[in-house]
């Protein structure tokens, strides 16, 4: 039996607007758009965003960009500067990035996981995900994180782009890799939708 958990309640799926909720709309994740973006920028980063390579690695910054595009943002400076399909806020609480840098939840491996998988109420904007227990349950455009040393600290974030061959796109280094090439503990989530509060 597969173990899954969601960071949202099924109640909010019955209607985009609940009895006590703010006006909102759900933007469902497009796995094909996510894979398209990952393939476009796997070898050469998107220069519209800040380069986090020298700050420890560009892997989670790249993964966040893939999700952002998968939720329906356009790869334009207009959408980036206006934080379309992002969550404005403080460096600690938001999920956003641009040419000048990004939030902790956008760029940090552990903060990204915590932010994505934490429960979000119906009136909380941002991504909704489903955590799954194996790579076999991961969908294209889904996220895998790796703890290379098996010490409980995850150091890497990659994106599944081909479920059949278990091929992943990643940055730092900017390349494709297959599941069997990653050693260490792993964790996974699939993307569901982005809730935009109007």
In this structure, is residue 18 part of a structural domain? no
Q: In this predicted structure, what is the pLDDT of residue 13?
A: 59
Q: Average per-residue pLDDT in the chain? A: 93
59 exposure class (CB count in 10 Å sphere: 0-12, 13-18, 19+):
buried
In this structure, is residue 96 part of a structural domain? yes
In this structure, is residue 92 part of a structural domain? yes
Q: In this predicted structure, what is the pLDDT of residue 56?
A: 82
Is the confidence at residue 59, as pLDDT, over 90?
yes
Q: Three-class SS of residue 61?
A: helix
In this structure, is residue 42 part of a structural domain? yes
Q: In this predicted structure, what is the pLDDT of residue 35?
A: 98
* 105 backbone φψ class: left, alpha, beta (φ>0; ψ -120 to 50): alpha
Higher confidence at residue 3 or residue 83?
A: 83
Q: Three-class SS of residue 125?
A: coil
* Total-model pTM: 0.92
Phi/psi of residue 188, each to 5°? -145, 150
Q: Three-class SS of residue 146?
A: strand
> Tens digits of per-residue pLDDT, 100-113?
999 999 999 999 99
In this structure, is residue 11 part of a structural domain? no
In this structure, is residue 2 part of a structural domain? no
CA–CA dist 91, 97 (Å, integer)? 10
Strand partners for 154: none
Q: In this predicted structure, what is the pLDDT of residue 99?
A: 96
Is the confidence at residue 1, as pLDDT, over 50?
no
What is the residue range of 122's domain?
24-197
> Tens digits of per-residue pLDDT, 118-158?
999 999 999 999 999 999 999 999 999 999 999 999 999 99
Residue burial 149-168, b: 16+ Cβ < 10 Å; e: rest: eeeeebbbbbbbbebeebeb
- Model confidence at 71, pLDDT cuts 50, 70, 90, reads very high
In this structure, is residue 14 part of a structural domain? no
Is the confidence at residue 31, as pLDDT, over 60?
yes
Q: In this predicted structure, what is the pLDDT of residue 65?
A: 98
Q: In total, how many domains does the chain have?
A: 1
In this structure, is residue 1 part of a structural domain? no
């Amino acid at each position: 039996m597969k173990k899954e958990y969601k960071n949202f309640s099924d109640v909010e799926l019955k209607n985009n607007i609940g009895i006590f909720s703010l006006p909102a709309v759900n933007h469902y994740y497009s796995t094909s758009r996510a894979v398209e973006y990952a393939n476009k920028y796997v070898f050469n980063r998107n220069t519209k965003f800040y380069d986090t390579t020298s700050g420890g690695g560009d892997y989670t910054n790249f993964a966040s960009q893939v999700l952002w595009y998968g939720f329906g943002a356009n790869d334009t400076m207009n959408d980036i500067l206006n934080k379309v399909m992002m969550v404005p806020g403080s460096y600690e609480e938001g999920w956003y990035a641009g040419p000048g840098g990004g939030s902790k939840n956008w760029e940090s491996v552990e903060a990204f996981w915590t932010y994505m998988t934490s429960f979000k109420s119906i009136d909380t904007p941002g991504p909704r995900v489903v955590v799954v227990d194996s790579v076999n349950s991961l969908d294209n455009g889904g996220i895998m994180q790796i703890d290379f040393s098996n010490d409980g600290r995850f150091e890497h974030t990659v994106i599944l782009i081909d479920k059949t061959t278990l091929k992943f796109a990643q940055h730092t280094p900017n390349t494709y890799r297959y599941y069997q090439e990653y050693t260490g503990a792993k964790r996974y989530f699939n993307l569901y939708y982005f809730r935009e509060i109007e």
